[in-house]
Amino acid sequence: MQEAMKVIVSGGGTGGHVFPAIAIANAIKAERPDTEILFVGAKGRMEMDKVPAAGYEIEGLNVIGLDRKRWWKNLTLPFKLISSLWSVRKLIKRFAPDVVVGVGGYASGPTLYIAGLMGIPYLIQEQNSFPGLTNRLLAKRARKICVDYEDMEQFFPKDRILMTGNPIRQDIVDLEGKRAAAFEHFGLNPDKPVLLVIGGSLGAGSINRAMLNNMDEIMASGCQILWQTGGYYYEQVMSMIPALRAGLLIKDFIKNMDLAYAMADVVVSRAGAIAISELCVVGKPVILVPSPNVAEDHQTKNALALSARNAAILLPDDKVYGELGKTVVELMQNSRRKELMAENISRMGKTTSAQDIAKWVFRIAEEDAIARFGR
């Protein structure tokens, strides 16, 4: 009888790290239900809520990221890093994982580093076209690095790169037949088109400001709006809207994203790696507004990869305030362009990424067991 495996999944900070981590864990459990999975995240970050809600145990590290704008915030960073390294060492000794999966975010670095020192094999899941310094350094000891973009050998050892794509939530893969339920859930009119506006799990200030400036123009065209502001911006946005009206639904966070996608006719979104991966599977016409506040401007590179294939419209962040309304209305009213964009973006979707990564998790653990114990 095969022994139950133990897996640590580490990372988080934003939905772009948390949701792929949960998707991988779900795929592992679907393949081998007896697998023990422990998450390691950062205290105070969104994974500490989202992971338990998904049914998994999580341990939080007292770790923070480098603040490039406010240097004084970094004074405690070395002490918190050392504390996190000690915490991870004790955690790994207690849990004794067969393999560790790192998805990026504050907690992932210390966890993979200590796992490597302790001889525990690990796998990196890199979502972006330009990986951060931590993952580039950790890749030297990684058994495999799972990526979504070509030409990643400039950052990682070529023989360890796996082109798996980015894992997304299974409920988003399965949108068939959900449209009617979506309108009922959100209370919108099924006879009118819907614009879905999402700025990432934490929200996007420029998109929110653009929506406030262009909302009347969009709604005057007959569109309904489902708008996720992000928790940080919600109260501010609500205070600037005189009164809610029929066909306008504003949320700080949308829990049922599968229903939101199923209902949407057009989507406005940031161009983060996981958002892109979800949108390709969803197959809806999308207007991408890349965030300018990311390393190496990788969101613009992500958006260009789609717009060059007529799979999305790229609306630069510095133009969204004045041009969002016009762009949305023109796209909503151009049925042929919507159809072409939906077809083109759908061709880029990968639906089995989480399952493919899970298979490699099992393979790495089994190869390590054979190397150690001859079994």
- Write the pLDDT tens digit of every residue in 218-261: 999 999 999 999 988 999 999 998 777 889 999 999 989 999 99
Structure tokens at 272: 């983060």
Structure tokens at 181: 């339920």
Which pLDDT does position 266 carry in this prediction?
Answer: 98
| Whether the Cβ atoms of residue 359 and residue 5 lie closer than 8 Å to each other | no
Which pLDDT does position 104 carry in this prediction?
Answer: 87
Which pLDDT does position 361 carry in this prediction?
Answer: 97
Taking phi first (over 0 means left), then psi (-120 to 50 degrees means alpha), and beta for anything else, what does residue 272 get?
beta
Select the more confidently predicted residue: 129 or 316.
Answer: 316
As a whole number of angstroms, the distance between CA 119 and CA 141 comes to 10
Task: Look over the chain and give the mean of its residue pLDDT values, rounded to a whole number.
Answer: 90
Select the more confidently predicted residue: 85 or 219.
Answer: 219
Is the pLDDT at 193 greater than 80? The verdict is yes
pLDDT digits (tens, 9 = 90+) for 1-53: 357 899 999 988 877 789 899 999 999 999 999 999 999 988 888 899 999 99
> Which range is most confident: 68-72, 196-200, 293-297?
196-200
pLDDT digits (tens, 9 = 90+) for 92-109: 999 999 999 999 888 899
Q: How far is CA 336 from CA 44, 45, 331, in A?
A: 46, 42, 9
Give the torsion sign (CA, 104, 110, 112, 113): positive
Which pLDDT does position 353 carry in this prediction?
Answer: 94
Helix 15-31 × helix 273-282 angle, to 10°: 60
For residue 3, the 8-state DSSP code is P
- Measuring CA to CA, which residue among 42, 23, 200 is closest to residue 108? 42
DSSP assignment of 250-285 equals EES--S-HHHHHHH-SEEEE---HHHHHHHHHHT--
Is the pLDDT at 355 greater than 60? The verdict is yes
Is the pLDDT at 311 greater than 50? The verdict is yes
- Measuring CA to CA, which residue among 329, 344, 186, 183 is closest to residue 268? 329
pLDDT band at 77 (very low <50, low <70, confident <90, very high): low
Which pLDDT does position 65 carry in this prediction?
Answer: 58
> Which range is most confident: 54-68, 223-237, 290-304?
223-237
pLDDT digits (tens, 9 = 90+) for 34-45: 999 999 988 888
Which pLDDT does position 295 carry in this prediction?
Answer: 64
As a whole number of angstroms, the distance between CA 343 and CA 283 comes to 7
C-beta atoms surrounding 341 within 10 Å: 25
Is the pLDDT at 285 greater than 90? The verdict is yes
As a whole number of angstroms, the distance between CA 253 and CA 256 comes to 9
As a whole number of angstroms, the distance between CA 141 and CA 244 comes to 54
pLDDT band at 74 (very low <50, low <70, confident <90, very high): low
Please tell me the pTM assigned to this model: 0.82
Select the more confidently predicted residue: 373 or 250.
Answer: 250
Is the pLDDT at 66 greater than 90? The verdict is no
Beta bridge partners, 124, equal 102, 145
For residues 306-321, one letter each, b for 16 or more C-beta atoms within 10 angstroms of the residue's C-beta and e for the rest, the string is bbeeebbbbbebeebb
Beta bridge partners, 250, equal 227
Select the more confidently predicted residue: 246 or 268.
Answer: 268
Q: Once rounded to an integer, what is the mean pLDDT over residues 178-201?
A: 94
Which pLDDT does position 98 carry in this prediction?
Answer: 96
Q: How far is CA 236 from CA 205, 231, 232, 240, 250, in A?
A: 10, 10, 8, 7, 12
| Whether the Cβ atoms of residue 200 and residue 230 lie closer than 8 Å to each other | yes
Dihedral of CA atoms 165, 169, 171, 176 in degrees, nearest 10, equals -20
Which pLDDT does position 1 carry in this prediction?
Answer: 37
